[in-house]
A and B are shown apart, each in its own frame.
Chain A
Amino acid sequence: MKAPDLLKMVTRTINFGRTRAVLTSLGITIGIAAVALLTSIGEGVRSYVMDEFSQFGARIIAINPGKNVTGGMGGILSTVRPLSLQDAEALRQAPYVEYVVPVVQGAGAIEYKQRTRNVDIFGVSADMPAAWRFAVAQGRFLPRNNDARSSPYAVIGHKVKQELFQGESPLGQLIRIGGMRFRVIGVIEPKGDMLGFDLDDTAYIPADLALDLFNREGLMEVDVIFSPATDSTYMSALIKKMLIQRHGREDFTLITQDQMLTSLNSILSVLTLAVGLLGSISLLVGGVGILTTMTTSVRERTSEIGLLRALGATRAQVLSLFLAEAVTLSTIGGVCGLLLMGVVTALAFLFAPEFPIRPHVPFLLIALLLSSLIGLIAGVVPALQASRLNPIDALRTE
């Protein structure tokens, strides 16, 4: 029997029992749609989170004060030397270092005329826009100052500008932050949210002033951005060595961006896989549906099988006929499932564009393949039954 003829016979059979075929395929349709959708959401979440975390670039090493060690002489070891602006400045001189951003973060009220707004306040350096890939929409960013105390300048986020200045130009205006007066010299372009933080509802001031403002001894973090000419392993070692030299011991923690991204990525990939597997339960149910239908079908068409055998159909031919039927049913279900998933994705895109659905083509292809495979597996037993029928008994059945 030629393959096109096989296909034609199978489609004829399926078309003849259309209602049953539709109902049977429906199980697979729902299963495939579930798997495709769940993995797409998983993939969407993964890439959303990865984007959020990597928007600052991958060549970044964050240094935090303190080290998580369990020591025996708690009293002495727990005295942590704070990370200082001088540390940050020293790191700036190190080879391969492109930018260094000392970070002091806090929350405070910004006052302008009669209006007050509570925002996140970041104490940073002039390197910040380049390091974190922020762009200045209006005016300029904080100037670089060497050693001397910084001028009381502030750069505000997009939302702060909108809310506080309401159409006025903020440039050159004086605002009060936590009782200190700052002159607004720039506005950062809109950045959106990151993991719940509104990056536009912020103000940036020089780090040394922020230390005074929040009455802190040391920086909360120093971000070092290194050049692509080297890698994070080398840079980590270098920074560690420098800081140990300055502090006398390792009382700080380094987190490289690619370390974090790698572990985050693997966690989220496992998560995607897990929800995918959850969805496959419905695929399994769909497979059982195909098994049921094919078993019934073999029983109903027993005399037809007998006839085929009498006409010279081999067992292998009967087997392939029924297998092909099962696979066709499930593949139809699979294709419909992907279409359904496409419709849901399109609707989500139209009505909830922020919902992180990211159809991942390899996953979709795997899902389709899976549907065919399920048909194959579900079809094996009934098809074997059909091929093993005794033609005489089969012919006698009416």
Chain B
Amino acid sequence: MSVANRSSSSPSQLKSAEPVVALHEINRHFQLGEQTVKALDAVSLELLAGDYVSVMGPSGSGKSTLLNILGLLDRPDAGAYLLNGAPTQDLSEEKRARLRQQNIGFVFQSYHLIPRMSARENIELPLILAGTAPKERARMVSEMLERLGLTARASHLPNQLSGGQRQRVAIGRAIIMKPKLLLADEPTGNLDTQSGADVVTLLEELNTQGITLVVVTHDVELGKRARRQLRMVDGRIQSDLRQSDVSD
């Protein structure tokens, strides 16, 4: 797998177009017994096409909630979320599912592969849900397997794959629909160092090709690789550092 040099900020990423994601004053509160937990407290955030953002912070700081809101899995209690300039907060559940399908890819710590489906079928799943024609699907999945270096493993079930391979399958599944936004929740959390490094390389390569990458992580090393680093505390964005500000 060829690796683009992560530190080179290619020109394509610098040109700032319309933001892919715009959050305005997002509130998300949970009721825990008597107590109201402000998981997100008036969070505003813009992500541009090609951004590489890491979200860090202590447990309970609202990282996951932010990711869920960004992924249209959760609805804010207040505030506006514009995806590609279009407001999403009032859309029906089925329309949000459609938006997710077309625009957002998810990568999870625990892969979330379907155990009875082969690597190929797991990658194919979003295309099936979207109703893509079988011929088209086969071509796209084969290309993807090739790109991920998994062609030889295409017919293996998840439990016949190594952790790194599983996460690569999961990434293949996340990007098969060519989303603009890729959300990764601790993508290396379950992996050994080498596999983790491979996965990060793959994610960054995708980012270089233009995908907006958001990585939520506890791993400081991983977090520091992003050109833009958000730190969250108590449901607020405490700091928002850009690569140029960071002394690496």
Residues of A within 8 A of B (CB): 1-2, 5, 9, 12-13, 15-16, 303-304, 306-317, 391-392, 395, 398
B residues 95-120 near A (Cβ < 8 Å) are: 97-98, 100-102, 106, 108, 110, 112, 114-117
Residues of B within 8 A of A395 (CB): 73, 108, 112
Question: Which residues of A have CB within 8 Å of B134?
Answer: 5
Q: Which residues of B contact A306 (CB under 8 A)?
A: 112
Please give, as numbers and ranges, the residues of chain A lying within 8 Å of B116 by CB-CB distance: 12-13, 15-16
Instruction: Tell me whether B93 is interfacial, beta carbon within 8 Å.
Output: yes
B128 in contact (CB, < 8 A): yes
Q: Are A311 and B173 in contact (CB under 8 A)?
A: yes
CA distance A343 to B211 in the complex (A): 61
With A2-B131, A12-B117, A312-B97: A392-B73 Cβ-Cβ less than 8 Å: yes
Shortest A393–chain B CB gap in Å is 10
A4 closest partner in B (C-beta) = B134
* B126 within 8 A of partner (CB): yes
Interface size on B, residues (CB 8 A): 28
Is B130 interfacial (CB-CB < 8 Å)?
A: yes
Q: Which of B74, B94, B102, B129 contacts A308 (CB 8 A)?
A: B129
Give which listed residue, A1, A13, A392, A398, contacts B129 with CB less than 8 A.
A1
Question: Does B68 sit at the interface, judged by CB under 8 A?
Answer: yes
A12-B116, A304-B114, A316-B94 known; A311+B73 contact, CB < 8 A: no
In the complex, what distance in Å separates the CA atom of A308 from the CA atom of B116? 14
- Does B50 sit at the interface, judged by CB under 8 A? no
Q: Which B31-74 residues sit within 8 Å CB-CB of chain A? A: 68, 71, 73-74
Asked if B78 is at the interface of the complex by the 8 Å CB criterion, the answer is no
Max chain A Cβ within 10 angstroms of own Cβ: one of B71, B97, B110, B131? B97
Asked if B138 is at the interface of the complex by the 8 Å CB criterion, the answer is no
Q: Is the CB of A310 within 8 A of B106?
A: yes
Establish whether residues A392 and B68, one from each chain, have CB atoms under 8 Å apart when the complex forms.
yes
Is B200 interfacial (CB 8 A cutoff)?
A: no
Measured between beta carbons, the chain A residues less than 8 angstroms from B129 are 1, 308, 311-313, 317
